[in-house]
């Protein structure tokens, strides 16, 4: 969503951070570019003006901390103002009211109200153990009520029985009554939309509000709408009074202006964002994390949360034991690839890692995308149990059969096997007792330990390993290692076929905090490097 804005702001702020001192002219020139970048991203003009004025005011007279360069101070000020613009704290749906708590969903046609209603119902019933009832008040759109009923079945949430000929106000009244009688904690009212805001729509919304007395009125807005989203939010807030915003299609390729503008103009918090078509494609909105992503600082907290949601702890422990014994077969590789897909695929993971967002395009150009994962999983699925457990038996005739079964060719199978060999060697190095084995095991704990994920990989010389190696315990604190240790690590990674894995890409796989501008060979923090990034011949 914010990729183009991220690129523009990244290049502007990078130009500032390299300088020892900043003049007022430097700050003004940078802010002119920031203003242009925000306007191009469809942020409302009044919001852009207010934002740049606040940044200028703080940046020009900034009390610069001695250990920080002035340019870095400006980046911090921009980051803080971005957080302020998006809302300082994340705000969840408020259920602090007598049951049944009524949540009224409003918005224009096609913004995703019905799907979002079902996603919220699923979230409340599964995460907060609430008994939810959904009711469709959309009597105009053909089969709208039937759509909600089917979504209710899909997410295992009760829906109000459909009675033909009832008006939206009558359905709202009946829904609240049914929720009281049925002992429901929450009732979600999915109201009708229009293609544009008109008087009859607003009158209908006001009438529904009167009879149902909602505790939350959530405006569902398509984040691809652009600047018009601001007028939409204003109109609904003035006439109906909204308590929060839900932005859908945040996984799209829009420019993100709606998200930045609506909160600033209405003063209402963005509570949730839709991140996909699936019923679990809904996330809480955390302003600080979004600001981090926009400024290319990554979003490690969300990445850890995703990992915790999608990764089976037992599976992780079993993988840890296998790694200790130095075993790593194609079944293990398949489970690693599946877990990466669940966590949002290559793009999703890279976008949340600090400094990695810029490398996504280069990786896509090199054919390292989620389609590659799909092909690799198809290849592994086309093998027999014996072949998966012992890839060495794969000779030409077997490869021919696997290629036909998976719709690939021998070259792709060879690439997969080469990648597996490299990862298996790395696992041996991590679990092995030989020279340097202890160093690799010690590397595993770094970031996971800092994030309170200790103990997920018992016996690995320190906690680590989300997903049994998919993140490999995250990045260690390399700045505290002496150069000899780093050199030993580099040689070990190269011996495992992971050296120079990121050559030619900007940043060269380097990560902040490496002394002397050292680059990390491959990405040993990610379970032995990213799949497919083997040593180039």
Binding residues: 107-114, 190-194, 248-251
Q: Is the peptide bond before 41 cis (omega within 30 degrees of 0)?
A: no
First-to-final CA distance of the chain = 36
Angle (CA) 412 415 421, round 5°: 145
Coil, strand or helix at 507? coil
Buried b (16+ CB within 10 A) or exposed e, 294-310: bbbbbbbebbbebbeeb
Angle (CA) 371 375 380, round 5°: 145
Burial of 390 (0-12, 13-18, 19+ CB in 10 A): exposed
Instruction: Decide: 443 and 451 in contact? Cβ < 8 Å.
Output: no
Burial of 472 (0-12, 13-18, 19+ CB in 10 A): buried
Instruction: Decide: 334 and 498 in contact? Cβ < 8 Å.
Output: no
Q: Which residues are annotated as a binding site for GTP?
A: 107-114, 190-194, 248-251
Return left, alpha or beta for 94; rule: phi > 0 is left, psi -120 to 50 is alpha, else beta: beta
Within 382-535, residue ranges assigned H as helices are 385-389, 396-406, 410-431, 437-443, 446-450, 483-495
Instruction: Decide: 296 and 6 in contact? Cβ < 8 Å.
Output: yes
């Amino acid at each position: 969503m914010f990729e183009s804005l991220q690129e523009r702001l990244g290049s502007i702020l990078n130009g500032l951070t390299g300088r020892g001192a900043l003049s007022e002219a430097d700050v003004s020139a940078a802010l002119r570019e920031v203003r242009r970048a925000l306007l191009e991203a469809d942020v409302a003009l009044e919001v852009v003006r207010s934002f740049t004025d606040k940044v200028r005011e703080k940046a020009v007279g900034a009390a610069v901390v001695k250990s920080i360069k002035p340019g870095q101070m400006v980046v911090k000020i921009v980051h803080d103002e971005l957080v302020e613009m998006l809302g300082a704290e994340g705000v969840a749906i408020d259920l602090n009211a007598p049951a049944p708590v009524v949540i009224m969903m409003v918005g224009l046609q096609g913004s995703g109200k019905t799907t979002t209603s079902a996603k919220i119902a699923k979230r409340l019933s599964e995460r907060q153990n609430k008994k939810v009832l959904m009711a469709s008040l959309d009597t105009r759109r053909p089969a709208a009520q039937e759509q909600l009923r089917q979504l209710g079945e899909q997410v295992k949430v009760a829906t109000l029985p459909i009675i033909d000929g009832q008006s939206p106000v009558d359905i709202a009244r009946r829904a609240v009554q049914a929720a009281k009688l049925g002992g429901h904690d929450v009732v979600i009212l999915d109201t009708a939309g229009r293609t544009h805001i008109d008087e009859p729509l607003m009158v209908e919304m006001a009438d529904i509000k009167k009879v149902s007395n909602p505790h939350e009125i959530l405006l569902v807005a398509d984040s691809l709408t652009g600047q018009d989203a601001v007028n939409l939010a204003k109109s609904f807030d003035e006439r109906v009074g909204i308590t929060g915003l839900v932005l859908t299609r945040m996984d799209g390729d829009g420019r993100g202006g709606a998200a930045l503008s609506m909160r600033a103009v209405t003063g209402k918090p963005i509570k949730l964002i839709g991140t996909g078509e699936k019923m679990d494609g809904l996330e809480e909105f955390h302003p600080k994390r979004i600001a981090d992503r926009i400024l290319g600082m990554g979003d490690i907290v969300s990445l850890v949360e995703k990992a915790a949601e999608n990764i089976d702890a037992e599976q992780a422990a079993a993988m840890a034991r296998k790694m200790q014994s130095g075993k790593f077969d194609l079944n293990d590789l398949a489970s690693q690839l599946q877990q990466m897909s669940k966590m949002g695929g290559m793009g999703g993971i890279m976008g949340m890692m600090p400094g990695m967002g810029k490398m996504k395009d280069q990786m896509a150009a090199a054919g390292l995308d989620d389609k590659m994962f799909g092909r690799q999983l198809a290849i592994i699925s086309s093998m027999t149990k014996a072949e998966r457990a012992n890839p060495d038996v794969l000779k030409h005739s077997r490869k021919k059969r696997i290629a036909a079964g998976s719709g690939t060719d021998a070259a792709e199978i060879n690439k997969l096997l080469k990648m597996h060999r490299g990862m298996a060697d790395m696992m041996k190095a991590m679990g092995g007792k030989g020279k340097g084995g202890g160093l690799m095991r010690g590397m595993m704990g770094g970031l996971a330990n800092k994030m309170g994920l200790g103990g997920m990989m018992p016996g690995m010389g320190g906690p680590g390993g989300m997903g049994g190696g998919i993140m490999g315990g995250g990045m260690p604190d390399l700045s505290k290692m002496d150069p000899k240790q780093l050199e030993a690590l580099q040689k070990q990674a190269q011996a495992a076929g992971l050296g120079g894995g990121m050559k030619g890409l900007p940043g060269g796989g380097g990560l902040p905090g490496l002394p002397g501008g050292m680059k990390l060979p491959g990405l040993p923090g990610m379970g032995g490097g990213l799949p497919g990034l083997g040593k180039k011949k």
